[in-house]
Amino acid sequence: MTQEATASAAGVSVQMIRRLEAGTANPTLGTLHAVAGALDTNMVVLLQSTV
């Protein structure tokens, strides 16, 4: 899924998706919930460390 499609599905800006991917955003729980829904996953997956 592209950043544009993810942003559209989540109802957020493409810039927010880019900042989330870069780790520079400080999203609200609502934003995390919306992005998780757009990606067909849950917030826990988004918050898990990849290190």
Q: Tell me the pLDDT tens digit for each residue of 8-51.
A: 999 999 999 999 999 999 999 999 999 999 999 999 998 887 66
CA distance linking residue 10 with residue 36, whole number of Å: 8
Structure tokens at 35: 């992005």
Token pair 């919306």 in the structure block, residue: 34
State phi, psi for 50 to the nearest 5 degrees: -100, 10
Please answer whether residues 29 and 37 qualify as being in contact, where contact means their C-beta atoms are separated by less than 8 angstroms.
no
**Stated pTM of the model:** 0.89
Count of CB atoms situated within 10 Å of the CB of 33: 15
Structure tokens at 8: 């559209």
Domain boundaries, the chain: 3-42
